[in-house]
Amino acid sequence: MIDIKITPSKDKKKKPDENNLSFGKYYTDNMFIMDYTETIGWHDARIVPYQPISLDPAAMVFHYAQESFEGLKAYRTANNEIQLFRPEKNALRMKSTHNRICIPEIEVDDFVHAVKTLVSVEKDWVPSAEGTSLYIRPFTIATEAHLGVKPSNTYMFIIITSPVGAYYEEGINPVKIYVEEEYVRANPGGTGFIKCGGNYAASLASQVKAHEIGYSQVLWLDGVERKYVEEVGSMNVFFKIDGIVYTAPTCGTVLPGVTRMSCIELMEKWGFTVSEKRISIDDIMNAAENGKLEEVFGTGTAAVISPVGELRYKDKVAKINNFKIGELTQRLYDTLTGIQWGKLPDDMNWITKVD
């Protein structure tokens, strides 16, 4: 396991108001950094004061987007313990991201150890108000100064943390979703199944367009036929039609979300049938028309569960469950957040405590 040298900041920033955190606005006193060179491998793991980093303008990350990231949270329980939700799943996913874009792997144990150590140092920053948590953002960047296209031979792995409130300021209310038919997010053989910054750059134009017409998120269709539903912005998406729950398979073009996986495990435990076969947007809009589209929700670390109240596809609008949160959606939200904040027993063995 990596050895982490800890030289924390002597200055402590003033903590923001816990009831007004919003998402990704404040950063804690310290950060984790580790370097990579071909000769030494990953080395010099350290926790240092939060500070700007200095890079050569020719650093490859700026030009060819060789970058990976992850997102997870630390939660404070009612008896003041700090805990993480399935951090090893984020570590495994980062490994798969690194493999796809030729960044050297970080061992699962090292990733989890780095996250736990940083959160432990920043313990006082884990907020306690209802629905708040410490968001953890690990990421890796290519740092070699080189303008030829090839994998970099040096990298930095960094973790920063940010106290956050609920992702949606309106609370857990249904959102309106715009089905994108012009742009696509991912194609078979591409990078849709990994967490890399480039995927998000490619999604912005569509997000801007959706916002302009009053929709908060975009539902992506498959890149080949623009027919099958894939995911929503930074969330996986589920449809409950006539009692059966559908979500896109995660083969190649869909991000394998930790929240998605956890919801599937819970629903199967509760006796629901979850289908991971492809489902078309036409079938969904038809189900809505016939009164069979019972619930739609997105899943992701940032928002946890996000009910969908309206879908717009071309000139058709489907209203879902009278714009109210559905029963299954609510049950998943209560169960996941219950486990994450330690209000429910960790029956699934998903929790890692931070000392």
Ligand X SMILES: *Cc1c(COP(=O)(O)O)cnc(C)c1O
- Name the residue nearer to ligand X (CB basis): 168 or 323: 168
DSSP assignments along 334-355, one per residue: HHHHHHHTTSS--TT--EEEE-
Residues 68-87 that bind ligand X (CB under 6 A): 71
Query: Using CA atoms, how far apart are residues 133 and 162, in angstroms rounded to an integer?
Result: 8
| Contacting residue, 98, 116, 195, 240, with ligand X by CB under 6 A | 195
| Contacting residue, 260, 295, 325, 333, with ligand X by CB under 6 A | 260
Cβ(295)–Cβ(320) below 8 Å: yes
CA dihedral of 202, 215, 299, 221, whole degrees rounded to 10? -50
Tokens (6 digits) for 236: 């996986």
Query: Using CA atoms, how far apart are residues 215 and 177, in angstroms rounded to an integer?
Result: 6
- Name the residue nearer to ligand X (CB basis): 30 or 259: 259
Cβ 237 to ligand X, closest distance in Å? Answer: 9
Which residue type sits at 38? E
CA gyration radius for the chain? Answer: 21
255 binds ligand X (CB under 6 A): yes
Task: Identify which of 137, 177, 159, 142 has the alpha carbon closest to the alpha carbon of residue 313.
Answer: 177
| Contacting residue, 179, 258, 279, 288, with ligand X by CB under 6 A | 258
- Name the residue nearer to ligand X (CB basis): 151 or 197: 197
300 binds ligand X (CB under 6 A): yes
Q: How far, in Å, are 42, 60, 161 from residue 39 at the CA level? A: 9, 19, 30
Tokens (6 digits) for 179: 């089905």
Site string for ligand X, 88-117 (x = CB under 6 A): ------------------------------
164 binds ligand X (CB under 6 A): no
Site string for ligand X, 301-320 (x = CB under 6 A): x-------------------
Site string for ligand X, 52-71 (x = CB under 6 A): -------------------x
Tokens (6 digits) for 50: 């939060």
Binding site for ligand X (CB under 6 A): 71, 195, 231, 234-236, 255, 257-260, 299-301
